[in-house]
Amino acid sequence: MVVGVVAGSSVAWGRPALYATGLLVDGGSPTVDPDVLRPPQPEPAPPGAPTLLPTAEEGEVPSPEALAERLRAVSRSGIGGRFDLSVVDAAGGAELYREGGGPSIPASTQKILTGVAVLHELGADHRFTTSVERRGARWVLVGGGDPLLTGDTVGGYPARGSLEQLAQQTSEAVEEAGVTEVDLGLDTDLFAGPAWSPDWPENYRDQVTPVSALVVDQGRLAGVSPGPREDRPARAALDRFAELLEDQGVEVGDVDDRSADGSGTTVAEVPSAPVGVLVERMLMTSDNDVAEFLLRHAALAAGEPASFEGGEAVVGAVLDELGIDDEGRRTRDGSGLSRENRLSSETLTAVVGLALSEEGAALRPLVTGLPVAGAVGSLSGRFTDPDSGAGLGEVRAKTGSLRQTNSLAGYTRTADGRLVAFALLVNEAENDYAARVWLDRAASAVSSCGC
């Protein structure tokens, strides 16, 4: 079987977002699919995207005993805490290493479960629509849950829904209707439940925007994260839309952000980036806002409320349908910001292994979107220690960082060319920096295993 390894060191969205937690935050028997490391394709691939270098051999399965010896040789001095570790052969799912036991706090590796839920329920090509409906005398801006909706028309990758383009379409509809002034309304009823998790402390308000079906520019007031966020993102989006309409020469009268009931005629609409691209974005930059949106969309598609509670239900249902053990799992949000989330390293390696397999082709963005050690995404500044050099450019994994909680889950190719999935979770760490260095060294020990 011909398989591939990744080369290249840039993606279109550039430097990774800062870690995504309150104090320091990151933000069955499958066979390996030959096309697993293909660059993202739903949209034109950005310049500098990873390219495939084919290899002829799959390589030898690592010896569990030899791999265990290598991992145990990585010093844990000064870390303390509890380790929950799993390494499996991606081609067959055989357990190669297991230590500790879940459930554990996953931090941002929780986003892998968010990704599997939305990809399973909606598919990689699905898009969300932001629209304007004419309901009686009022023109209503309808939030469709596009997590990357932007106020301006922007180029680049990924393509985004544009409020400016929506205003242009609406102005044309206003002209055709012969209306001299429009009153605006708002509909954000797509999402349900609280916009802010009770598990999130107040100091997370620079890490994630209150969840709403209508948010423009992710509610980021300074355009960066961490950074100040809109308290009322839907109202801010409606005000921005009114300004854009006025820029188009439309006279705007009353602007009412109370929920506009009923249905009407759609006069304008713009699509989001595809779900697969959104999942890749979520994983690559550890985007908390995208994660919370996607979990709600997965819940809706499964017939559950688009809420934190609905997210819990859909993740459990999807894992059960896929035959993945999730004993002890608890899903309190989509981003991993909650310290009440729980899952095991075995659940993570099962999901990653499935996404690497031919049977898991529909889940491919879960692996094509993972950061690359020392190169792109939230791993671009990692693996700088000499003892983790073997993992540079080889390890692809989702990071996770909360206070006293650090994790890394993804896959790598061993020195013998074998593809393996791994999940390394450290809870109750006494030294977060030492824990992250250990994660990099341990992943590199797996990558360099010719055993």
pLDDT-above-70 percentage for the chain: 87
Q: What is the pLDDT of residues 189-215, one digit of tens each?
A: 999 999 999 999 999 999 999 999 999
Please count the structural domains in the chain: 2
pLDDT at 28 over 90: no
For 372-388, the pLDDT digits (tens) are 999 999 999 999 999 99
pLDDT at residue number 19: 34
Least confident of 75-79, 152-156, 254-258, 352-356: 152-156
Final residue belonging to a domain, choices 239, 273, 307? 273
Give the range among 79-83, 98-102, 139-143, 397-401 with minimum mean pLDDT. 98-102
Distance separating alpha carbons of residues 281 and 157, to the nearest angstrom: 10
DSSP 152: S
If you average pLDDT over residues 428-444, what whole number do you get?
Answer: 98
Among 104, 111, 171, 444, the one annotated catalytic: 111
Check whether residue 83 and residue 182 sit in a common domain: no
Question: Pick from 273, 301, 325: which residue ends a domain?
Answer: 273
Task: Determine whether 388 is an active site residue.
Answer: no
Say if residue 179 is in the same domain as residue 256: yes
* 220-226: long-range contacts, CB 8 A cutoff, minimum separation 24: 225/17, 225/18, 225/20, 225/27, 225/287, 225/288, 226/18
For 328, 439, 450, the CA distances from 445, given in Å and listed in that order, are: 29, 10, 10
133 and 83 within one domain = no
| Domain shared by 285 and 423, yes or no | yes
The answer to whether residues 180 and 323 belong to one domain is no
Q: Are residues 114 and 18 in the same domain?
A: yes
Calpha distance 298→318 (Å, rounded): 10
**Listed residues 222, 245, 273: the one ending a domain:** 273
Verify that 10 and 101 share a domain, yes or no: yes
Considering the candidates 131, 162, 225, 286, report the single residue annotated as catalytic: 286
- Is 240 in the same domain as 300? no
Please give the Cα distance from 208 to 186 (Å, whole number).
22
146-167 mean pLDDT:
91
Q: What is the pTM of this model?
A: 0.88
pLDDT at 7: 31
Phi and psi at residue 411, to the nearest 5° = -150, 165
Q: In the prediction, which pLDDT does 333 show?
A: 98
Within 8 A by CB and 6+ apart from 175, the residues are none
Residues 188 and 322 in one domain: no
In the structure, what pLDDT confidence band is assigned to residue 145 with cuts at 50, 70 and 90? very high
pLDDT of residue 304: 99
| Reported confidence tier of residue 101, pLDDT bands at 50, 70, 90 | confident
Alpha-carbon span 115 to 285, nearest angstrom: 14
Same domain, 291 and 438: yes
| Comparison of pLDDT for 394 and 262, the residue scoring more | 394
- Structure confidence at residue 38 as a pLDDT band (50, 70, 90): very low
- State residue 158's pLDDT score: 78
The set of residues, in sequence order, having a beta carbon less than 8 Å from that of 319 and lying 6+ positions away, is 113, 116, 325, 326, 329, 347, 351
CATH (domain of 198) = 3.50.80.20
pLDDT band at 406 (very low <50, low <70, confident <90, very high): very high
In the predicted structure, residue 34 carries a pLDDT above the cut 60: no
The whole domain housing 245 covers 129-273
Q: 119 with 261: CB under 8 angstroms?
A: no
8 A C-beta contact, residue 409 and residue 349 = yes
Rounded Cα–Cα distance for residues 410 and 351 (Å): 9
Quote the percentage of the chain above a pLDDT of 90: 80
Residue, of 259 and 271, whose pLDDT is higher? 271
Task: Kindly tell me if the per-residue pLDDT of 233 is higher than 80.
Answer: yes
Residue 111: CA count within 13 A, CB half-sphere: 39
Active-site pick, 86, 104, 108, 162: 108
Using CB atoms within 10 Å of the CB of residue 118, give its burial: 0 to 12 exposed, 13 to 18 middle, 19+ buried. Answer: buried
Q: Supply the pLDDT for residue 259.
A: 73
Residue 1's pLDDT is what?
28
**pLDDT-derived band of residue 281, with 50, 70 and 90 as boundaries?**
very high
**Are 229 and 208 within 8 A, CB to CB?**
yes
Residue 15 has pLDDT above 80, yes or no: no
The b-or-e profile of 89-99 (16+ CB within 10 A means b, else e) is: bbbebeebbbe
Q: What value does the mean pLDDT take over residues 101-119? A: 96
Separation between Cα atoms, residue 388 and residue 382, nearest integer Å: 9
Instruction: Provide the pairing of β-strand 138-142 with 181-187.
Output: parallel
The verdict on whether 108 is a catalytic residue reads yes
Question: Any catalytic annotation for residue 444?
Answer: no
pLDDT band at 323 (very low <50, low <70, confident <90, very high): very high
Q: How far does Cα 109 stand from its chain's mean position?
A: 9
- Same domain for 436 and 296, yes or no, is yes
* Cα dihedral 37/38/42/45 (nearest 10): 110
pLDDT band at 153 (very low <50, low <70, confident <90, very high): confident
DSSP symbol at 135: E
CATH number at residue 48: 3.40.710.10
Give the angle subtended at the CA of 112 by the CAs of 55 and 125, to the nearest 5°. 75
Amino acid at 105: I
Q: Across all residues in the chain, what is the average pLDDT?
A: 88
> Does residue 301 sit in the same domain as residue 439?
yes
Rounded to an integer, the average pLDDT of 40-68 is 57
Instruction: Summarize the confidence of residues 211-240 as an average pLDDT.
Output: 93
Does residue 103 have a cis bond before it (omega within 30 degrees)? Answer: yes
Give the mean pLDDT of 105-115: 99
Give the burial string for 31-63 (b: 16+ CB within 10 Å, else e): ebbeebbbbbebeebbeebbebeeeeebbebbe
Q: What is the pLDDT of residue 98?
A: 98
Answer positive or negative: Cα dihedral of 165, 166, 170, 171.
negative
Question: Can you read off the two tokens belonging to residue 147?
Answer: 């997590």
pLDDT at 411 > cutoff 60: yes
